[in-house]
Structures are given as structure tokens and as C-alpha cells.
Structure 1
Amino acid sequence: MEPIEQIEDNDEISLKEIYVSLKEIYHVILKRKYLVVGAIILGAAIGLVAAFVSKPTYTATLSFAMQDSKSGSMSNIASIASQFGVSLGGASNGAFGGDNLYELFTSRHLIENALLQPTQINGQTTNLLNLYIDTYQLRKGWAKSKNPEIRAMQFPLNQQRSTFTRAQDSILETIYTTIIKKPMLKATSRGTKLNIGDITFVSENEVLSQLFVENLISVATSFYVDVNTKVSRHSYEILKHQADSVKAVYDNAVAARASIADN
């Protein structure tokens, strides 16, 4: 029984030590109560200032199911489009499948098109580029520029991308870099086994976040259609040329046989 009594004594001593330690801490805090109260007030003030100064952010996420390459021939982007009511027919994955698809979503070409695509906002036609500029008040910084073109910078809706000036292109590139490096845009997979992808966009404007992910899917689908149309047209031209060549050979052969028969 002696070992058991020894353990109980040790436990009792430990509890006493804890009690004494807590009591000492309490007395220390009591002696420095003004310092503690001041620290609490300062921390609360910093928290309140941070809450007022920092702007809220809005996150829009669009999730989609990826096509399993083993289950069919439809490309991933065609599969995504079909989930939003757009039928693109079947096509092999190729450049539009797997990790390539996520790289495509973050490409400068698609992001620029998503920003420049005419969009209805509150009954008015504008684009997300101008909404982005207004949201982050970029024109305030441009107004301080020594370059008069920057100070008067505008992005008209009817201006073609190919006609952008060097200054316009530079600003658009800066915005693209910010979107990618901040990062505001993420295109990720939840895992190879799940075959589910997410496009997420974070900004200080709720409408901008929502419409950007929608526009990105729209321009990606259009890009897919354009590429496949060009490929199909090119294949058609090759087949047509081959058919014309075969027909010419056939016609020559028929003409030769007719000439021999006449002789």
C-alpha cells in the first residue's frame, strides 16, 4: 500500500504547486492591472481600426465536374460547357484536358477576353475591365502620371483589342499580372480521384467576382469552339484538296483510256 500513498502525496503536492503558481500570477496581474487594461484597450483599438480600414473581399467560386479521359472522348472543356447548357459535341481531350485546362483558364488571352467582353451590369453595357478600374480606383493613380496618355486613359467598349496603344497594353498587362500573382484568380483541382475543378476569383467588388468567373467560362468555351472550327476547316481543306487530286488523276485516266479506245 505504501507506493499508492506515495503517488497520492505527489498528486497532492502537484495540485498545491499549481494553485500557488496561479495565485502568484494573479497577484502579478493585479499589481500591473493598469498595464494589462491598457494592452487590452490598445489591442481592441487596433482591431477596430483594421476592421474599418481593410475593405471586405468577395469570393466567387464556380465548380465543375471533369470528364474522365477513360470514360469517353469528350474534352474537359466540352464537358464543362455541357454543364451550363452549351453542347459542343465530342472531341478528344488534347490541349483542353487535364492540367492543360487549368493553365488555359489562367492564360493572359482568356483573362483579357473575360475582362473585355461586353457585359450587362445594372441595365448598362460595360465590361469588367472598366469595373475593375473603378473598383480599385486606378484612375486616381493615373491622374498623377507625367504621361498625358495615361492621365486621359480610357478603354472604350467598341475598341478592338488589336488597336490598343502601348500604354493601354501596358495597363492591361499590369492588371493581368496582379490577378495572377496576388492571386485573385485560382483554377484548381480537388484531386485526381474526384475529377472536380474549381475556378475562384476574389475581389473587393461582389459583382466583379461573380461575373468574372462566368465570363471566363464563356470565353473559354468560345475559344474551344474557334480552335476546333479552325481545325475542322483545315482538315476539310486537306480532304478537299486530296479529293480534287484523286478526281484529276481519275479524269486523266478515263481520258487516256478513251483515247486508246478511239485509236
Structure 2
Amino acid sequence: MSKGKADEISVKDFIDKIVSISRYLKTKWLVILAGGILGGALGFGYAIINKPSYTASSTFVLDESNKGAGLNQYAGLASIAGIDLGGNSGGGIFQSDNILELYKSRLMIEKALLSVASFNGKRQQLIERYIDFNHLREKWIEDDHVGNISFNGNPGNFNRVQDSIITSIVNLFNKRLLTVSKPDKKISIIRVDVINKDELFAREFNMKLVDNVNSFYSQTKTKKSYQSVRVLQYQADSVKDVLNRSINGVASAIDAAPNANPSLQILRVPSQRRQVDVQASTAIYSEIVKNLELSKMSLRQETPLIQLIDSPVLPLTVDKVSKVKGFAVGIIAGFFLTVLILFIKKVISKIMEND
């Protein structure tokens, strides 16, 4: 038998099988119809039972332009005092993109969860609100007998169970409920989305998280410069006190011998000593104040600009499967699954007959 003849027979057999299966499915139209109706009913029921999800969104701009070049003219002077103006640093501890990961850290999410907000006039921890809305206490009472657990107090003193619960909630947020992104890679606008079935919780958690992370980010970026400013300010205040006392000492020494005999130079020694102290203290104070101003300038340059653009406003964006959509998708899925099951059943029966 030629190859062309074999191909022709194979194609014919394939078409015959398709026709046979089609006829078989036509005989099962009631079953297919019932499957579609059942799927539609399930989809409709899902749309009714399923709670809507709310999305709380915040956007802010992060500007970390390197302005250190403007301080280069002071670098030599500042280095004498041991001050690093940071003009040539590559961003220090944090780069601009690191804030995206900071939002997903356990520390920041835990801090937001343990914060307190007002819900319908009642003050409540966000984690308590989350637990109550999701009926987690009832489940814990049945499974682990820890339904009365509280999250008040210092997080550093939490026990193993408390830490475990927070860890599971943090992991859930990172997997499904929290999204942090840059919509456009060319600009420094960051978007934070929190998805939850509790509209009020989603809004409050979003605002707390954004506030906590941005504050922590700014404080950490400027920590070294802030410490330098504090040290120099303390030194400036101390030297100023010494200078004031020296000035008062000069006046007191002069008052002690107002009409000193010009031939007795020893009488001028106390006031001259005090005058030397004044001159030394003045020079030291002048240098410290100069370095203090440079350090303050460095602090201002290193402080990132974080400007909130949009914050979540009620009502939030809602995502809910409509009844019509649920019914339509259910019918399609029901038809498809019923046909697939009948097809598999037909194929298996054919195999069994050939055996």
C-alpha cells in the first residue's frame, strides 16, 4: 500500500472518529445542558457568597537627586573637622529602589499591624481588626486553643505563638494583599496597593504603612549627618559657655584693679590671661560654628524628598464578580467540563472494547 493511500485512510479514520464523537455528544445533549445549568447556578451562587475586595492605593514621589556636587567647595574645610559631606557617596545604605523591598519587610508590616486607628469612632489595633473581620479567633479556639491572644505591649516581648501569627499574616500580605511597584521606570513615582475584603482596614493599613516606611527611610538616610549635627551643636554650646565665662573673667580682672599703676605690670597679668582665653575660645567657637553650618547643609542635602501624591479615599476601588458574569462564566465552564468528561468516558469505553 502506498504512503499516500495510508495517509488518506488515516485522515478518513480521524474524521470518522470526530463524527462519531459528535453524534455521541448530541445524544447526550440533556446531560450537557444540565451540566451547563449546574455550572451557571454555581457561578451565580459564588457571585452572591463571594465578598468584594477593596484596593487602597497610595502614590508618592521619591526625589534623591545627588546635590553633593554643590558642597565640593567646602569638602577640604569640612575634612579638617572630620566631617563627610557625602557628596560622592553612591546613595549610602539605601538606594532609591531599596524602599520597594523595605515596604515588604516584616518590621514595617508588623509595625503597621500593631498601630492603632479609629474605626467608626472606636480605637482598635489594625491586627485586631484584621483578626475579627476574618473570624480567625474562632478557628484558633478550635485548633490551637489560643482564641484570647492579645498583641498589646512591646513586640520584642511577644511569645512564640504571637510571633508565629504575625509571621503568617506578613507572609499573606507579601503573597497576595500588598503590591509595591514603580508604574514607570523612568520616573520616581512609587505606588502602594493594599487589597482586602475590609474596606476600612485596607485604607488605614495603607496609610500607616506608607507613613511608617517613608519616615524610617528618611531617618535612616540622614542618621549619620544628624548625629554629626548633634555632636557639633553640643560642642558649640560648650565652647560658647567657656567663652562667656572668659569674657566675664576679663571684666572681673579689670574691675579688681581699675587704676593699676602703669609701672606695676604684674597687675595686668590676670586680665591679660583672661583676654588670651577669650581669643582662643573665640577662634575655636568660630571654627565649630562654621563646621556646624556645613554639617547642617550636608543634612539638608542628604534628606530625601518624599512627597505624597495620592492617598486612599473612601469609597475605595472595589473588585467583585457580578451575578451576570458569575452565571455566564459558570455556564461556559459547566458545558466545557461536561463535554470533557463525556469525551473521556467515550474514549475509555472504546479502549476497553478494543481490548
Q: Give TM class, smaller chain.
A: 0.5 to 0.7
**Partner residue of 1:40 out of 36, 42, 47:** 36
**Partner residue of 1:208 out of 194, 201, 204:** 201
Q: Are the equivalent residues in 2 in contact too, given 1:145–1:151 (CA < 8 A)?
A: no
SS in structure 2 at match of 1:125: strand
Q: d(CA) in 2 for partners of 1:30 and 1:225?
A: 69
TM-score calculated relative to the size of structure 2: 0.49
Q: Are the equivalent residues in 2 in contact too, given 1:95–1:101 (CA < 8 A)?
A: no
Q: Residue type of the partner of 1:231?
A: K
**Partner residue of 2:123 out of 98, 103, 125:** 125
Q: Does 1:227 align with 2:225?
A: no
Q: Residue type of the partner of 2:214?
A: T
Q: Are the equivalent residues in 2 in contact too, given 1:57–1:204 (CA < 8 A)?
A: yes
Q: d(CA) in 2 for partners of 1:232 and 1:117?
A: 29
Shift in Å, 1:34 = 2.1
Q: Residue type of the partner of 2:61?
A: A
Deviates more, 1:187-196 or 1:91-100: 91-100
SS in structure 2 at match of 1:183: helix
For residue 55 of structure 1, what is the aligned residue in structure 2? 51
**Larger-gyration structure (1/2):** 2
Q: Residue type of the partner of 2:210?
A: I
Q: d(CA) in 2 for partners of 1:108 and 1:151?
A: 23
Q: Structure 1 regions of 5+ residues with no counterpart?
A: 1-25, 74-90, 247-257, 259-263
SS in structure 1 at match of 2:173: helix
Q: Are the equivalent residues in 2 in contact too, given 1:64–1:196 (CA < 8 A)?
A: yes
Deviates more, 1:106-115 or 1:63-72: 63-72
Shift in Å, 1:210 = 1.2
Q: d(CA) in 2 for partners of 1:189 and 1:208?
A: 24
Q: Structure 2 regions of 5+ residues with no counterpart?
A: 1-21, 70-86, 240-272, 274-355
Q: Residue type of the partner of 1:168?
A: Q
Q: d(CA) in 2 for partners of 1:97 and 1:171?
A: 31
- Higher RCO (CA < 8 A, seq sep 6+): 2
SS in structure 2 at match of 1:103: helix
Aligned residues: 209
Q: d(CA) in 1 for partners of 2:32 and 2:178?
A: 43
SS in structure 2 at match of 1:144: helix
* Cα separation, partners in 2 of 1:28 and 1:171, compared to 1, 3 Å: closer
Q: d(CA) in 2 for partners of 1:161 and 1:197?
A: 29
Q: Does 1:114 align with 2:112?
A: yes
SS in structure 2 at match of 1:208: helix
Q: Are the equivalent residues in 2 in contact too, given 1:59–1:203 (CA < 8 A)?
A: yes
* Cα separation, partners in 2 of 1:62 and 1:42, compared to 1, 3 Å: same
TM-score calculated relative to the size of structure 1: 0.64
Percent identity among equivalent residues? 32
Q: d(CA) in 2 for partners of 1:232 and 1:71?
A: 15
SS in structure 2 at match of 1:119: strand
When the two chains are superposed, the root-mean-square deviation of aligned CA atoms in Å is: 3.9
